[in-house]
Chains A and B, each alone.
Chain A
Amino acid sequence: MHIILNGDRQDFPDRLSANELLHTLGLTGKRLALEVNREIVPRSMFDSHIIQPGDQVEIVHAIGGG
C-alpha cells in the first residue's frame, strides 16, 4: 500500500500496525509522536492501530529550537 509518510509517498505492506511501521523504519523505542490523518495515535495504541492505504502519517520528535 501507499501512504504519505512525513510528506513523501512510500510503499509498505498491507495490514501494518503503527508499531510495525516504526519497527520497519528503525524507530522502535525512540521518543517520538505519531499522527495519522491529523489525529494523534497515542503510544498505548501503537500495537492496535492499523495503518490504512492512503493514510497521511507524520512522525515527529523534539529538536533544538528557540
Chain B
Amino acid sequence: MSTVMHAPAPVTDDPLLIAGVEYHSRLLVGTGKYRDMVETLAATEASGAEIVTVAIRRTNIGQNKDEPNLLEVLPPSEYTLLPNTAGCYTAEDAIRTCRLARELLDGHELVKLEVLGDEKTLFPDIMQTLEATAVLVKDGFKVMVYTNDDPIVAKRFEEMGCVAVMPLAAPIGSGLGIRNPYNIRTIVENATVPILVDAGVGTASDAALAMELGCDGVLMNTAIAGARDPVLMASAMKKGIEAGREAFLAGRIPRKRFASASSPIDGTFF
C-alpha cells in the first residue's frame, strides 16, 4: 500500500475576534502615504486586510472637487473602516474626531484612538489617551487604543473597556521593528482582549515576529505604502502574518546552546 501524502492542514478556523466581530485576516492596514487611489486599492487588496484605517480631515472647499473619494474606493460595505485620531495631541481633539467619524460613518463605533505626545517621536501621550478613553468608552465607542509597550498601561486600557490594545513596536513610520519583544510578550500574556502591534514594523519578518510573540494581529501603513513596490510588500506582509501566526500556534522549539542531531545515531555503518 502506498503512503498517502498529506498536505499540511491549514489553520482555517482561527478568527480574530474584535468587539464580537470575527475577522479572517490578522493584518490591518492604513491607507495613508500612497501615490494615488489606484495604488491604495491594489495594495489593500494584496494585503488581504478586512480592517482599514482612515483619517478624518477637512473637506477641500472649491478645489479638487472631482478627486476620488476614499470611501468610494474602499466602501464600508466591503471593509471595516477604522477611523483614527492621528494628528491629535489632546484628549479633546481626539474625542471630537471620533464623534465626527461616527457621524460620517452612520453610527459606526469602532475607532482607533491615538493621542500623540510629541512630533519627533510620535509616542503616545498616555495621560491624554487615558482621559480620552474614559470619555469614549462611556460614550459607547469601541476603542482600539494605540499605546506604548508598557504592560502596566496596556492592562489599564483593557480594564477601562478598550476592545483591543495596540502597543507600538517602534516609533510610527520608523520601520525599526519590534524593539522590546519581552514587553510585547508580557502584554500578550496579561491580556484578555486582542493585542495588536501598531506601528514600527519595517518588513515581513517584523510582522512574523509580532505574531510569533502571540499578538493577535498587526496594524501597519508605512511599511507597505513606503516600500519600493507597495503591492508586493502588502502580499509579503500577508504571508508574514500568516506564517507567524501558524508558527505561534504550532509552538516553536526551545532555544538550546548546543547542537542536537536531526539524524538518528542508530544504524550508522561507519
Listed in ascending order, the chain A residues whose CB lies under 8 Å from chain B are 5-8, 25-27, 30-35, 38, 40, 42-43, 58-66
Q: Tell me if A25 and B100 are in contact (CB < 8 A).
A: no
CB distance from B236 to the nearest CB of A (A): 18
Listed in ascending order, the chain B residues whose CB lies under 8 Å from chain A are 29-34, 40, 53-59, 61-62, 65, 69-71, 81, 83-84, 86, 96, 99-101, 103-105, 172, 219-222, 225
Q: Tell me if A64 and B103 are in contact (CB < 8 A).
A: no
Q: Tell me if A59 and B59 are in contact (CB < 8 A).
A: yes
15 pairs from A and B in contact (CB 8 Å cutoff): A5-B61, A31-B69, A32-B104, A34-B103, A59-B61, A60-B56, A60-B104, A61-B104, A62-B54, A63-B55, A63-B57, A64-B40, A64-B55, A66-B55, A66-B172
Q: How would you classify the secondary structure of chain B's contact residues: helix, strand, loop or mixed?
A: mixed
Q: Tell me if B69 and A59 are in contact (CB < 8 A).
A: no
Q: Tell me if B59 and A27 are in contact (CB < 8 A).
A: yes
CB distance from B88 to the nearest CB of A (A): 12
Q: Tell me if B34 and A65 are in contact (CB < 8 A).
A: no
CB distance from B222 to the nearest CB of A (A): 7
Q: Which residues of B contact A34 (CB under 8 A)?
A: 103
Instruction: Tell me the bound Cα distance from A62 to B99 in angstroms.
Output: 13
